Structure 1
Amino acid sequence: MLKDIYPGSDSSAPRMLTGLDSRFFALANSPQGFELWVTEGTAASTRRVKRLSNQLSGRAERHAFMFKDRVFFSFPTPVSELSSEEPGYELWVTDGTTTGTQKLAKFPTGTVEGFTVFRDRLFFSGGGADGQELWSSDGTPQGTKQVVDLAPGSQLIAPPCLPPSPQNPTPNCPPPFEQQHSSAPQELAAQGDWLYFVAWGLPGGRSLYRTDGTGQGTERIKRFQTDSLQFQHLFKLNQNLIVLIEVLPKESEAQTGASRLQIWSLP
């Protein structure tokens, strides 16, 4: 064992992030809260970089990416078990020092994932105030911003009522709330002068988009003819971008039909 971060019977529940040079980073709980730690593989080199929250975290989800000699990482915001607050996600960056570790943005409505480098910026899918949309960052809080809102607007959601019980004979009906539309960008892939990705746009439907990194330079180039997609994957092959999708059979063909594989190529 390199370090007992949470002494006693409780666990620090370390979540490994990634390596940078000869150092390796991890997120862990301690008696003081949720923290970023770094190690070079020895007890003497294992140390806390920075406390990220006074609350402990019981969730294991996290994403990390190395860019410009720094580690960008995201995780669910730690909240008290007694809190009804939706945790959301946070995006941080570190160079391995306390002063070089800072929060870039908080995302209240979704995750932070899909890190991809394009035009000297880090692009990703982030759940901000407009829902899950395309974001980019230069590694500073001021330079971390949403690129475009491909699914503007919101809809009113009415949660189902909880049925009455002997302890509570009155049905419990939570109040309706506004939920932002989300384009949910996926499969970000840089190719030449463009960053390609798959997203839900308005009007509805899953489509292939490309962007030059600006909102004005973001456009839909292909709308998939069906929404019954099992998966989609974008990857580079030589000088081309390959788009691979699997289309599920229609409901009327569910018993006899088989899924169909489609492969497209973009120069």
Structure 2
Amino acid sequence: MNNIYLILGASSEIGSALIRSLNEKEREALFLSHYRSHPDVLREIEMKNGNQLRALQADLSLSEEVEGLIGEVRTSCSSPTHIVHLPADLYEFQKLKDIRWESVLHDMELQLHSIMQILAAFLPKMTKGERNGKVLFMLSENTVGLPAKYTVKYTVGKYALLGLIRSLASDYEGKRINFNAVSPSVMDTKFLRKIDERLLEISGVREHMLKPSEVTPAMEYLLSPASDRVNGQNLLLRG
């Protein structure tokens, strides 16, 4: 087995698009593909070139289920070589006065605590591989310049992840592992299903939307040996 990808949020549109693209290029790779509730998306992917896909179910907002996921990964391999972190709550516009603190905590469990647990479990072995390990996060253009209006909860979560990325890049400097992120403008996916189409037009979000296929090339670069000298970076992708 060559590369071992742990893709968190693999059943999302960007997750499945990334797997499909990597599947065309990889040889004898293992895709440990996390989902919460939509395994059919993963089952529809026809694996090629000796690649394998194993679907792993967990609710990443629950710490005990994250620990269970870590255990399942360990039954498949000693450690991933690549980790891709995609999960987030649905995108929505909310004024500060309307945000419930419980929803902020849920988002932090889903996005931040889960990946901290997973990285704590696997980083020690990932740094000892023959090639550089790769950890890639999905952030947002909200982390570059002023964010979209009324996205406090979403933006705070993404900045928390950016802080984690930068801190780990510093902590593990020189240890054969890279921590990076892509920050696309909003993608045209089901992630927007809470947003009224008229609001997308009025806010200007619609005109800058990207398709998942426009984002995956940058992700693949940051997962490849070509990015071995790239660390702690947040790559902006604008529609």
TM-score by length of 1: 0.22
Query: In proportion to residue count, which structure has more helix?
Result: 2
Structure number with larger C-alpha Rg: 1
TM-score by length of 2: 0.24
Which structure exhibits the higher relative contact order, with contacts defined as CA atoms closer than 8 Å and separated by 6 or more residues?
Answer: 2
